[in-house]
Structure 1
């Protein structure tokens, strides 16, 4: 209880209060690679305390004992003098696990320098260059560290799928992540975790991206996603070579305080001819699959053997271990999750992932139909968070007040990021948006018969037509009228108060009161007890769908740009142009794992009413939102009343 109280206090306190543990952001450097005669099958070197901070092993600088060093398979601890010896492979990442209380050098772009990428022959003619041939193994690879007494209380920021496909979308990253990092106090923030799909296929944009994020002066740790792939790679061994060149290993670990962070690569590409799925067949188009390689599993077993049982394990991957959103989809979950569960065992653990462009809280014991078939597992073994997407629904939608697309996410959450506050091996997670403050945790709307009729027409249109197109949709957001004006017909035909708690979990409690009356408990639409996802207008989020229903940007044209600037481009240059229509059907919030609802009383008198919504999260934090709504006998004319001007 004491530790949890510490974490809650940390989460609720400004980072200014923790300036005493401010990170050392000025240690710019690199690892010490010494070339010369070397044994062809052995990697050697030292981990040392870099007292003069020049990133070189100088005479008199002491080695550090007990630091973990790996070749991506074997793991050894350095000896008393800081030395290590490991088997060498022609294609490997040689890296250390940064120990707690120390810091590695960082590049000018704040990328931690803890690894040497060794690829004797280099990459095989990749579009974005991959890795140049490294030639023979260096005589020694030495890893510098400096003391960094962070302590056991610290903070990390977690960003899902930034995924810019173009320089325009990199600018959106600047206006969201970049703006956030340059305007907040980062003194208590010890790491930034990017959960994969850092880029959207065009890997030439990495340098600009890194320069933007570096303005936060916080060390950045990256997960490789399926849009960070070298798509012209012929084998999985080469598929993340450009990522490795820019960021380092595709899997690794590091320690801060009482937390052991593990980053995994769970994207196999191409999976064709390797994994026994139809989409991986040799006759199919090259595809990826969610799976953790046997080499990684061996490394992770060796890595965890050196980690105390009471340390918190934070496991980051791109493809979710399991997901509510795509519970029945094989490639969007981890094939061999059972093996990861076996390795983690009963250790305290937290899983982080991205990929689905949704926020999802999956607590131990939670379970949805499809998981067993896709992953061979049942109820979740440890807490998992799917961390949403900075890009939201792929930077789609009209511009918000910051000049960035609203891109409301698939389960209804706005674009945002997570803050993880750690105290020892305990933690508190908080979802924050780029536009609001920490009290903005939900939105509320009314699921009325009128909305459901409207939504049926919208969904039917998206399933019957390619999106975007030039076919006028049957309904737009304008046809909903005032969503907070309820008629007698709405109340008699069942109207739900629909509350989307963006970071809600099965332990959240949600209620509302009307005009200060007794609270009415709302129920989560999904129980997480093995059922299928409940989908359709009855289970949808009205406010999210209203925002997703009318994408005006795709109808924009000009005489200056003509076809070149009509609408906007997304994904691999695909042009979204046509009428002002909805998002594609799979992007609409017709279901959600964090939606609560309860029926609105049918006997409310006509007039203006106040609705106060209250949610209590799994940590006991209370969030409230108040709105007004109207009850009328019939909807009045909602447009200009011309009748008064026709006389």
Structure 2
């Protein structure tokens, strides 16, 4: 394993240590294909400092890489991030990238390395801060991102492109000396900025809101403040094409904000809570390349997302497991053998990584008729089996064991028949992804005759 990062010193220093904005106004980058508004003078609340940058998202469509939580805590983790996520993407057709916070795991000294490794992809990157990016000795929320500002840049900013407008928001409200130590929400200066900037935008483009802590309600002490959510809803409601990107949870989930949440836009507000690049904090058994499995608690492999933005506010999303040449979209778990003629109490489970409550998921056996699978809110059995292997091991199987399996929001089950012929049978599962269309996965099980049970004495 590579333990030294001296090679980073030979890359341009500008990639690692950008200058912090000198203006007190919020920075908005306007790409060269668009007219440049005049920056506002003074330090009035919400004032905007406009800047130029080369065009990225243009043409009929363009791709954006989206990383959730690289969350490195050591040189070893930076090495995993480089080899598992970044290097396989060199040569990407993406024109822009977004990191949704938790660049580091309370290790600000690693900011330059994370930014330089990410910069190997050769596209502009937008970085949101996360709760593990705050200064450990912060005495206030206002002073909680000093290290982030020095090494990475502003915590709140926007970018206007030909195909989409993107705003990156620090939504971690630090509460030193209190419990919880932070909550989700926005500052008054951020609201002032949004109140000035959003009305200047065209409504025929996609508006992307990128943040760390999810906007949707969560049963967690650090959930996004309800009053801030209501205020943000009101600012976003006039826009017909909005996508919220969040991270933080180390699972993956699609969420539709509706009237039950207090959202009153023209259609449900789509939030994609993106899985983590580090998965479950770079945990689990290492593979032949020395990289941990890093499977998340919902059974989703670690990886990254691709957002494709299109003309007229349209977009598409795709999840890609790290270093997966098959680009697997469905994880299957089924028993290897069942008794022929047994009661059909056992099933195949399909973890549809980009699935949601409305997803159509079906299965069939041996080219038979397709049957619907039932969505179940329970842990992925494949990860439960890995938990059992960790429990039964006499020695540590990795630096940190895989996470305890939690109920997955995108798991489906289908009962396996036992009245077919003895021998092997093929299980095929298909799901209908709203962007990719039909995706498939396949596995096998075997039916075996058992000896007659011994007669009772």
Structures share a fold, TM > 0.5? Answer: yes
Q: CA deviation at 1:256?
A: 2.1
Conserved 8 A contact 1:553-1:567 = no
For the residues of structure 2 that align with 1:48 and 1:619, how far apart are their CA atoms?
Answer: 29
In 1, the alpha carbon distance for the partners of 2:429 and 2:358 equals 17
Tell me which residue corresponds to 2:42: 86
SS at match of 2:331: strand
> Helix, strand or coil: the match of 2:220?
coil
Question: Comparing both chains, which one has the higher relative contact order based on Cα–Cα distances under 8 Å and sequence gaps of 6 or more?
Answer: 2
- Are residues 401 and 384 of structure 1, via their aligned partners in 2, closer, same or farther at CA, if it must alter by over 3 Å? farther
- 319, 343, 346: which is aligned to 1:431? 319
Which residues in structure 2 correspond to 1:285-434 (within 5 Å)?
287-322=181-216, 327-335=218-226, 336-347=228-239, 348-365=241-258, 381-424=268-311, 425-434=313-322
Identify the match of residue 445 of structure 1 among 288, 311, 333.
333
Cα deviation per residue 1:404-453 (whole Å; 9 max; x = unaligned)?
1102101110011101111112111010011214641011113xxxxxxx
Change in Cα spacing, 1:66 to 1:540, as seen in structure 2 (3 Å) is same
Computed over aligned residues only, the root mean square deviation of the Cα atoms, in angstroms, reads: 3.6
Q: What's the CA shift for 1:306? A: 0.7
State which of 25, 50, 54 in structure 2 corresponds to 1:96.
50
Partner of 1:57: none
* TM-superposition CA deviations, 1:329-388 (whole Å, max 9, x none): 131344321211111004110010110001111235497xxxx6xxx7799941111110
Structure 2 matches for 1:267-286, cutoff 5 A?
267-270=172-175, 279-280=179-180
* SS of residue paired to 1:305: helix
Q: Gapped runs of 5+ residues in structure 1?
A: 1-24, 35-40, 51-63, 68-76, 104-146, 274-278, 281-286, 447-482, 526-533, 558-565, 569-575, 577-581, 636-647
CA shift in 2, pair 1:32/1:517, >3 Å: closer
Number of residue pairs matched by the alignment:
433
CA distance in 2, matches of 1:365, 1:412: 27
Corresponding residue for 2:105?
200
Conservation of the 8 A alpha-carbon contact between 2:263 and 2:269: no
Partner Cα distance (1:622, 1:42) in 2? 49
1:341 touches 1:381 (CA, 8 Å); kept in 2? Answer: no
The whole-number CA distance in structure 1 between the counterparts of 2:390 and 2:154 is: 39
The offset of 1:632, in angstroms, is: 2.0
Q: Aligned in 2, Cα 1:218/1:148: closer, same or farther, shift over 3 Å?
A: closer
Q: What TM-score comes out, normalization by structure 1 length?
A: 0.61
* Cα distance per residue 1:11-50 (max 9 Å; x no partner): xxxxxxxxxxxxxx9x99988999xxxxxx998x9x9999
2: CA distance, partners of 1:617 / 1:423: 18
Q: For the residues of structure 2 that align with 1:500 and 1:234, how far apart are their CA atoms?
A: 43
In 2: Cα distance, 1:178 partner to 1:441 partner: 20
Distance 2:137 2:144 in 1: 8
Q: Return the TM-score normalized by structure 2.
A: 0.84
